[in-house]
Amino acid sequence: MMGLKAVVVTVLLAAALSYYIYTPMPDAIQEPWKLMAVDAAFRTGMNLAALKYHLGIDHYITAFRRSMEGFESTMVVLVGSRSPAGVVPGVKISDITFAGVPVRVYEPPAGGEGHLRRGLMYLHGGGWAYGSNKMGAYDKVSRMISDELNTVVVSVEYRLFPEVLFPEPFLDCVAAAKHFLSPEVLDKYAIDPERVAVSGDSAGGNLAAAVAQEVATDDSVTVKFSVQALIYPVLQALDFNTPSYVQNRNMAILPRHIMVQFWLQYLGADISLKPQLIANNHSALQHSALTPELRSRLDWTSLLSQKFTKSYKPVVVERDSHGLLKKIPGLLDTRSSPLLAGPEVLAKCPRTYILTCEFDVLRDDGLMYARRLKDAGVSVTSDHYEDGFHGCLSFINWPLDFDVGKRALRSYMTWLQNNL
């Protein structure tokens, strides 16, 4: 009888665990159970962080950061010799500051192609609240780019929420970028001033796009970025009902409600406003600041092809009874939303690479930006992954590696090799 009870309990626990882990996945996703497990780990970390916050033990952001660091340390122990730290031993690493901003500099081994080298500034993702340039995938990719492409990579450790709010992370990145682009620094690292890139993923892609615009339009900066490479970037916060936001609203890794929360945190707004933004009340027709010209800059009905618009309809609200644009002025700031920049700004941007994934709420942000840059006369390469999901480029280390992440990384590096 006791044996039967043990079997029943085991079966029930296994069923409960499966129910918790299971999240419906599109058929195109390869290794769906692995992605479900990763998503469940993230959700568990966030739920535990929220519990600690409600109990007054710790801030939920700080608690989740610690859980991520613990997960990272565990993976390093489990993976052992496959740890990213051992990938490219010849690359020189320096943790220093650029204009007071912490950066990690990766210098390629001696004996690369020619005297002058490429330069690349990288801005990590994490919703402006999480992440670090020292984390496994970011560190591994920086080492690979430095070694394989003979590139000096500068990975920026900009400040995060809740320690700072917008525009401080942007200002950190601008300060580091201008320092990096100074003739003295480029000369110190033997970098060709005609071959310097800015790149980033997700929230880092947002910052990279905003920094590229700032540098391109600042006449005091004599050396400009040659290219920008944006990986599933966040580019606007006025429409959370684009086809990709609706299609992927419950997708693993980055569901819509989490992305909206990231925006509210970054812009210093009350999290309780989340339902209002999800309903698009903040972009109601009554707002005089949202002119037809400004709305056209993120009008997905004209900027996206039928392949992506499908049968989706715009969500347009007549009135906003909460005064959201007054409460959250950062929503209209091009430094937070680069997609809102005018064509005269976009025309000055450098040659561009934009990577998007089908199963990502941010897909349409990247596709619309690619279209607007092209319309402004900028050379743009759009790299879309039909089986891709948000964050896939960070999943390249065994045992949490995905084929789509490896393919995306190789394509990104090949583009840099051919265009930088």
- For residue 124, indicate whether it is catalytic: no
pLDDT at 203: 98
Report if residue 346 sits inside a domain: yes
pLDDT at 48: 77
* Strands (DSSP E) found in 202-244: 227-231
Which residues neighbour 113 within 8 Å (Cβ) at sequence distance 6 or greater? 150
pLDDT at 110: 75
Provide φ and ψ at 195, rounded to 5°: -135, 65
| Angstrom distance (rounded) from CA 365 to CA 349 | 17
Report the mean per-residue pLDDT for the chain.
90
Provide φ and ψ at 386, rounded to 5°: -65, -25
Number of domains the chain is built from? 1
Report if residue 166 sits inside a domain: yes
Report if residue 71 sits inside a domain: no
pLDDT along the chain (420 residues), means of 10: 53 49 86 90 77 74 72 48 53 97 94 78 96 90 96 98 97 98 97 98 98 98 98 98 98 96 97 97 94 97 98 95 92 98 98 98 98 98 98 91 96 98
Selecting among 146, 201, 390, 394, the annotated active-site residue is: 390
pLDDT at 47: 76
- For residue 202, indicate whether it is catalytic: yes
| Angstrom distance (rounded) from CA 128 to CA 168 | 10
| Angstrom distance (rounded) from CA 57 to CA 106 | 37
pLDDT at 321: 83
Provide φ and ψ at 192, rounded to 5°: -70, 120
Selecting among 142, 202, 226, 336, the annotated active-site residue is: 202
pLDDT at 398: 84
| Angstrom distance (rounded) from CA 350 to CA 370 | 12
Range of the domain at 166: 86-237+332-419
Tens of pLDDT along 359-383?
999 999 999 999 999 999 999 999 9
pLDDT at 16: 47
The letter for the amino acid at 104 is: R
- For residue 360, indicate whether it is catalytic: yes
Selecting among 201, 360, 364, 365, the annotated active-site residue is: 360
pLDDT at 84: 44
- The secondary structure of residue 18, as a DSSP letter, is H
Report if residue 199 sits inside a domain: yes
Any idea what the CATH number is for the domain that residue 390 is in?
3.40.50.1820
Report if residue 184 sits inside a domain: yes
Instruction: Please indicate, yes or no, whether the overall pTM of this predicted structure exceeds 0.85.
Output: yes
